[in-house]
């Protein structure tokens, strides 16, 4: 067997309605999904922790429903009543082992729960698993994990994409109805594309980063993956908003409202020509062109636009992100976090990080330290920061002409495990179309658009203005 049979599951609202109408019991749903997790994990290595205690929470929820302790007519609460979900193992969950997919943190137990996870739990969702990923999100294939590679449920020889590899693979395999990932340069969008799922990277600052292992703090965005388009706005409404623990979050009530929300057929779609240059596979290009023609056939206005500085996006990303990574790793010194392998502080620091940090973690720390070092910071870090600002201005200008941008997610479809692992540059190039949304902080939604000749999924992404998620939700309905 080289693949899993992919089950068909209903959307979140349908399941919640069935629970509220007493057609389904929460405990039966949770048992089914936990059983599925144990069944598929030996094949795809998607989960680092399966939370079997979730059955007890399900029983408690059923008892509250039966005893009338939950107001089933309350539309503001219990929007996720009884819904099983999973999270990338970068999210802290009180009392649950959180490894960040690195051997360095193999014994760490979280002391509190991440804000967005808690918001889902407060709405009645039940956490059933912590997902494998690249360590701290460092990677695009799931192969850098300290606990082994995640495999694509559609083809065990291929990557499900990264860094939120386990989140995508587990969801596709039928475990949970949604999964939380993180997106620093495409880490929920690439797996969605490679696995034929939907995903959202919200505007930077819309969702709280509190309680999530930091990769690059000015890029990191809590995102998520679903099986159904209509689940994306439902979940975003649950997770969004100001958090006193995260100073980068916004009070959405104080932001200008999206005026006169357009009907999906009135949205002007921009095609950035720089995203269709050399390097894009012919199969991805064909699917992209097909979708553009479908838009035109529906009478939707499509306009070619230019974002010239896009060509420097990957270079900017791989200077600024490793720089922030280098700074954020300082706390992992074997005292506050990590194993104690020696009595002397310096020896413990060096030996612990040398033995337990994965190779990609070391590589990015070294790149970042070099970029920030005396004599080189002006040449690399400061210049990259200026280009980042220029790219932001270009995006702002383009969004004066169009409502959304349509672009590929990746130049390629899911590739073989090990195919690019010995060539870091080739691996980094997989992110070429996703990093710009993180550099400028705009939202991006991925939807399944087609398949390649090996029947592997191809996703496309829709980007919009800051905090204009409602527009990209509408635009996605055109597909």
Neighbouring CB atoms inside 10 A of 382's CB total 12
* Gap between the Cα atoms of 140 and 205, Å rounded: 23
CA pair distance 323, 302, nearest whole angstrom: 38
Q: Is 377 one of the catalytic residues? A: no
Distances (CA, A) of 124 to 167, 418, 430: 20, 40, 37
Of the candidates 133, 145, 149, 163, the residue annotated as catalytic is: 163
One of 141, 164, 187, 444 is an active-site residue; which one? 187
Angle at which helices 359-372 and 313-328 cross, to 10°: 100
Strands 178-183 and 221-226: antiparallel
Q: What contacts 462, CB < 8 A, 6 or more positions away?
A: 404, 405, 406, 444, 445, 447, 472, 475, 476
In the annotation, is 187 catalytic? Answer: yes
Pairing between strand 302-305 and 269-272?
parallel
User: Cα 306 to chain center, whole Å?
Assistant: 27
Least Cα distance to 116 among 233, 30, 206, 203 occurs for 206
| Identified catalytic residue from 88, 158, 201, 465 | 88
Residue 88 annotated among the catalytic residues of the structure: yes
**Which residues form the catalytic set?**
88, 163, 187
């Amino acid at each position: 067997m080289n693949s899993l049979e992919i089950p068909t599951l209903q959307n979140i609202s349908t399941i919640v309605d069935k629970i509220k109408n007493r057609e389904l019991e929460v405990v039966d749903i949770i048992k089914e999904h936990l059983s599925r997790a144990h069944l598929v994990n030996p094949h795809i290595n998607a989960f680092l922790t399966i939370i079997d205690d979730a059955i007890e929470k399900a029983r408690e929820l059923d008892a509250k429903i039966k005893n009338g302790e939950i107001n089933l007519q309350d539309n503001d609460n219990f929007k996720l009543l009884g819904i099983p979900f999973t999270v990338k193992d970068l999210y802290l969950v009180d009392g649950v082992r959180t490894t960040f997919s690195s051997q360095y943190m193999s014994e760490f137990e979280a002391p509190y729960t991440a804000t967005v996870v808690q918001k889902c739990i407060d709405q009645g969702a039940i956490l059933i698993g912590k997902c494998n990923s690249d360590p701290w999100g460092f990677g695009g294939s799931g192969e850098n994990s300290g606990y082994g590679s995640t495999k694509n449920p559609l083809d065990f020889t291929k990557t499900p994409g990264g860094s939120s590899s386990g989140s995508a693979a587990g969801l596709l395999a039928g475990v949970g109805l949604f999964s939380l990932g993180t997106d620093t340069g495409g880490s929920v969008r690439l797996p969605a594309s490679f696995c034929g799922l939907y995903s959202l990277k919200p505007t930077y600052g819309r969702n709280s980063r509190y309680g999530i292992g930091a990769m690059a703090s000015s890029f990191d965005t809590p995102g998520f993956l679903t099986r159904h388009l209509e689940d994306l706005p439902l979940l975003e409404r649950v997770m969004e908003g100001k958090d006193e623990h995260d100073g980068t979050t916004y009070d959405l009530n104080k932001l200008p409202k999206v005026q006169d929300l357009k009907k999906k057929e009135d949205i002007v779609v921009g095609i950035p020509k720089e995203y269709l240059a050399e390097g894009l596979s012919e199969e991805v290009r064909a699917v992209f062109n097909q979708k553009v023609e479908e838009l035109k056939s529906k009478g939707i206005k499509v306009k070619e636009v230019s974002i010239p500085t896009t060509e420097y996006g990957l270079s900017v990303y791989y200077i600024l992100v490793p720089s922030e990574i280098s700074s954020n790793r300082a706390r992992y010194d074997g005292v506050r976090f990590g194993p104690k392998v020696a009595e002397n502080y310096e020896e413990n620091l060096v030996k612990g990080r040398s033995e337990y940090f994965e190779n990609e973690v070391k590589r990015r720390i070294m790149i970042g330290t070099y970029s920030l070092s005396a004599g080189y910071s002006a040449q690399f870090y400061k210049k990259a920061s200026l280009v980042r600002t220029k790219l932001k201005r270009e995006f702002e200008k383009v969004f004066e002409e169009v409502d959304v941008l349509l672009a590929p997610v990746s130049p390629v479809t899911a590739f073989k495990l090990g195919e690019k692992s010995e060539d870091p540059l080739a691996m980094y190039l997989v992110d070429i179309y996703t990093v710009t949304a993180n550099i400028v902080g705009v939202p991006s939604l991925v939807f399944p658009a087609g398949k390649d000749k090996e029947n592997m999924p191809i996703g496309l992404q829709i980007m919009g203005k800051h905090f204009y998620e409602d527009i990209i939700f509408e635009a996605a309905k055109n597909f």
